């Protein structure tokens, strides 16, 4: 695989289950990298929002048009962008990769208990605690995929930002997932 395409890639998806901190990390990384932020939740169709607010999990068909929209927005930013998106299944990530060659992912990993606690702490968010289990049921870990950095979502936000920015700016190869970041 040609690692030069990863070195110059400035498109990033901050991914993981609800409550992992996608929005916080995405905002900070977009600012640090001087890239536009695409907040994935802002692109959900009203039917998806209604479903989630009602405590119903989204399925593949619910996510299809949303993922197409996100892919179009990534493709429209060839010089770079940071997207926040759960990207729970490999086929969802592959759909985004097809639109943005060299796309990288930061996977914010945490336990179901940690996710429930975090989601419960933000009662005004559209995503209820009752849906956390469905996210973990759907999640296909990206840790074995190229161009993925896995970080412990419970680390301090400043540490997560620094690890991500370093990874993006140092031209890491697609198979590089710094293990010290996972263990720290």
The pLDDT of residue 8: 53
> If you count them, how many residues does the chain have?
184
The pLDDT of residue 180 is above 60? no
pLDDT tens across 25-38, in order? 999 999 999 999 99
**Residue 16 near residue 111 (C-beta atoms within 8 A):** no
- pLDDT band, very low/low/confident/very high, at 171 (cuts 50, 70, 90): low
CB 135 within 8 A of CB 52: no
Residue 33: CATH number of its domain: 3.40.50.300
Domain span at 171: 4-183
Instruction: Report the pLDDT value the prediction gives residue 183, as an integer from 0 to 100.
Output: 38
Given a cut of 70, whether residue 181 has pLDDT beyond it is: no
Mean pLDDT of the chain: 87
Instruction: Report pLDDT digits (tens) over 5-19.
Output: 344 579 999 999 999
End-to-end CA distance of the chain: 29
pTM: 0.86
Number of domains forming the structure of the chain: 1
Q: Would you give the DSSP letter of residue 80?
A: -
Residues linked to residue 109 through DSSP beta bridges, in sequence order: 152
Confidence of residue 178 (pLDDT cuts 50, 70, 90): very low
Q: How distant is the alpha carbon of residue 127 from its chain centre?
A: 16
**Residue 171, phi-psi category: left (phi > 0), alpha (psi -120 to 50), beta (remainder):** left
Question: Averaged over 66-85, what is the pLDDT?
Answer: 96
pLDDT digits (tens, 9 = 90+) for 111-166: 999 999 999 998 666 677 888 999 999 999 999 999 999 999 999 999 999 999 99
| SS3 label, residue 102 | coil
DSSP line for 126-180 = SS-GGGHHHHHHH----TTSTTEEEEETTS-HHHHHHHHHHHHHTT--TT---HH
Contact 21, 152 (CB under 8 A): no
* Percentage of residues of the chain with pLDDT beyond 90: 72
Q: Is the pLDDT of residue 94 over 90?
A: yes
**Cβ atoms 48, 64 nearer than 8 A:** no
Tell me the mean pLDDT in the region 18-26: 95
DSSP run (H or E) holding 46: helix 46-53
């Amino acid at each position: 695989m040609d690692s030069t395409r990863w070195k110059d890639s400035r498109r990033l998806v901050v991914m993981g289950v609800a409550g992992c901190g996608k929005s916080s990390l995405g905002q900070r990384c977009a600012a640090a990298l001087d890239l536009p932020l695409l907040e994935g939740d802002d692109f959900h169709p009203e039917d998806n929002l209604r479903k989630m607010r009602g405590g119903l999990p989204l399925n593949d068909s619910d996510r299809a048009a949303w993922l197409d929209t996100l892919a179009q927005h990534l493709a429209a930013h060839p010089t770079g962008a940071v997207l926040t998106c759960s990207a729970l299944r490999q086929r969802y990530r592959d759909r985004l990769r097809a639109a943005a060659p060299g796309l990288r992912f930061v996977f914010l990993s945490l336990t179901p208990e940690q996710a429930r606690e975090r989601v419960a702490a933000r009662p005004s968010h559209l995503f209820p605690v009752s849906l956390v289990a469905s996210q973990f049921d759907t999640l296909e870990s990206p840790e074995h995929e190229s161009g993925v950095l896995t970080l412990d979502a419970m680390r301090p936000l400043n540490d997560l930002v620094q690890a991500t920015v370093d990874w993006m700016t140092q031209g890491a190869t697609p198979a590089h997932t710094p293990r010290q970041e996972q263990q720290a």
